[in-house]
Structure formats: C-alpha cells, structure tokens
Amino acid sequence: MEKISADNLRDKYKPKPKENGLPKQLTIVEVNKVFETIEDLVADGFRAWYCGAIKGLGATKILDMAEMARAAKVNDRRKLMSRLTSDALKSKQ
C-alpha cells in the first residue's frame, strides 16, 4: 500500500457534515492508511488497539497526536503516543 503524508490524510479526512446526526465511520482501508502513517510510534503488538483508537477518535485527532509525539523532545515517543491516545480515549467516554 502507498503511504500518505499526514497533511494529505488530515485534509482528506476532516470531519464532514453529519448525516442523520451520525458522523461518517472510517472504513478498514482508511483506518489502515492512518495506521501506516503512525506505525513508527506504535509498540509491537498494539496494532489492534490503535486501529480501534483511530476508529473511535477519528483520523484527524490521531494524526494531530502523532505530530505532537514526533515533535516532542522525549526519549521514548512510543510511550508518549500511547499516553496521548489513552488519555484521549478516556476523556471521550
């Protein structure tokens, strides 16, 4: 599969107007494309968890958090990405 830059993906998957009051759900292919852009920030064995987070939080939110994790001056960006995602999922509940 061809990798897409975070900027292109963010533009493509901006929140769209809601139909019938429900936001559009991402397809499996779209979730996989988003995951491929953040793969360097994901610890081994957590693909399913991140795919669920992408589906639950949306592509834009995940890509914004990935951008923050990459820009941060920390030793372990994977831990930071995990913390950001976990906190976002908790605050969504």
Quick check: is 1 in a domain?
no
Domain assignment of residue 17, given as a range: 6-92
Quick check: is 37 in a domain?
yes
Per-residue pLDDT tens for 28-41?
A: 899 999 999 999 99
The residue behind tokens 């397809």 is 27
Calculate the average pLDDT of the chain: 84
pLDDT of 23 above 90: no
Q: Across residues 61-70, what is the average pLDDT?
A: 94
Alpha carbons 26 and 84: distance in angstroms, whole number:
21
Quick check: is 72 in a domain?
yes
Alpha carbons 59 and 47: distance in angstroms, whole number:
15
- At 25 the pLDDT is 79
Quick check: is 69 in a domain?
yes
- At 48 the pLDDT is 93
Number of structural domains, the chain?
A: 1
Nearest partner of 4 among 33, 42, 35, judged by Cα: 33
Quick check: is 40 in a domain?
yes
Alpha carbons 93 and 91: distance in angstroms, whole number:
6
